[in-house]
């Protein structure tokens, strides 16, 4: 059974701080990784994708990938209360086209 | 901006009844998916559909489930005889043939009583 693991949190940070969210995956052959944000009662919304080792930045978000360690992370700089949500790590397995999701980390940003 | 459309937003049914959940994927997308999320749990893959046939399915997607693309725009999920444990949010998703990014609809909340 291929797994995607995330610390469920909650992760609490003050407004303006950096939030760091982590994810590990078990399928060593996976090549495509995604971060989704999910507000309570809503559908997952794609934030970032990353395919190569290293960092990828998009605005206040930075995704980091280390395939050797099977580890993906998401950094949110200058966190805002509107960033309070559950962040889902998703991995495309080597076989197939479906994304497999972690359980998500709940982030709470206090003003 | 194009989006995945799901109807109804809420569906209440009695145990043992059949339900059909409806989705209109983004028009130029080629791959279609159903996922479900039981309250407080993770988003779980059910089935993927490509070129008018199921391309993969999870162990959740048993004989009680079926999918269909009855015309050029709709994509449906049928649950033949609903069980209490089928109560969940069901998400439809789609993607193009070139990108692996999945775009989700707003979901149908299914409640089985």
Which pLDDT value is given to residue A9?
A: 87
Tokens representing B112 are 């089985």
Q: How far is B53 from chain A (nearest CA, A)?
A: 14
Q: Are B13 and B111 in contact (CB under 8 A)?
A: yes
Mutation target among A9, A35, A43 for the B interface, most CBs of B within 10 A? A43
What per-residue confidence (pLDDT) applies to B105? 97
pLDDT of the residue at A70: 96
Question: Is A102 close to B42, i.e. CB distance below 8 A?
Answer: yes
Low-confidence ranges of chain B (pLDDT < 50): none
Q: Which of B43, B55, B101 sits opposite A88 (nearest CB)?
A: B43
Chain mean position to CA B106: 11
B50 reaches A (C-beta below 8 A): yes
| Amino acid B104: pLDDT | 97
pLDDT at A2 (0 to 100): 79
- Quote the pLDDT of residue B72: 80
Looking at residue B34, its pLDDT comes to: 98
pLDDT at A95: 87
pLDDT for position A1: 74
- The pLDDT of residue B71 is 87
Q: Residue A8 has what pLDDT?
A: 86
Facing A97 at nearest CB: one of B55, B58, B107? B55
Task: Say which of B31, B44, B103 has its CB closest to residue A97.
Answer: B31
SS3 assignment, position B75 = strand
CA distance B36 to A35: 18
Distances (CA, A) of B83 to A81, A97, B10, B30, B64: 39, 28, 16, 31, 10
Option in A49, A92, A101 nearest B43 (CB): A101
Q: For residue B2, what pLDDT is reported?
A: 81
* Ranges of residues in chain A whose predicted pLDDT is under 50: none
Residue B70 is predicted with a pLDDT of: 87
Q: pLDDT value at position A67?
A: 95
Q: Flag if B45 and A44 touch (Cβ within 8 Å).
A: no
Q: Which helix (H) or strand (E) holds B19?
A: strand B19-24
Per-residue confidence (pLDDT) for residue A48, from 0 to 100: 96
Q: Does the CB of B49 have a partner CB in chain A at under 8 Å?
A: no
């Amino acid at each position: 059974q291929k797994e995607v693991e995330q610390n469920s949190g909650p992760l609490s940070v003050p407004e303006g701080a950096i939030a760091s969210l982590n994810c590990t995956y078990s399928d060593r052959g996976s090549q495509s990784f995604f971060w989704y944000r999910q507000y309570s009662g809503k559908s997952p919304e794609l934030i970032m994708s990353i395919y190569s080792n290293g960092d990828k930045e998009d605005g206040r978000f930075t995704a980091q990938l280390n395939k050797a360690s099977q580890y993906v992370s998401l950094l949110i700089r200058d966190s805002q209360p509107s960033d309070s949500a559950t962040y889902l790590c998703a991995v495309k397995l080597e076989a197939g086209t479906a994304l497999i999701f972690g359980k998500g980390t709940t982030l709470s940003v206090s003003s | 901006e194009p989006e995945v459309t799901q109807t109804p937003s809420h569906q209440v049914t009695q145990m043992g009844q059949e339900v059909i959940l409806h989705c209109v994927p983004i028009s130029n997308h080629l791959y279609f998916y159903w996922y479900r999320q039981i309250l407080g749990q993770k988003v779980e893959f059910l089935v993927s559909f490509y070129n008018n046939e199921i391309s993969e399915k999870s162990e959740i997607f048993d004989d009680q489930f079926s999918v269909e693309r009855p015309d050029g725009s709709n994509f449906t999920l049928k649950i033949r005889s609903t069980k209490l444990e089928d109560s969940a949010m069901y998400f439809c998703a789609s993607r193009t043939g070139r990108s692996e990014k999945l775009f989700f609809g707003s979901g149908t909340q299914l409640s089985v009583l």
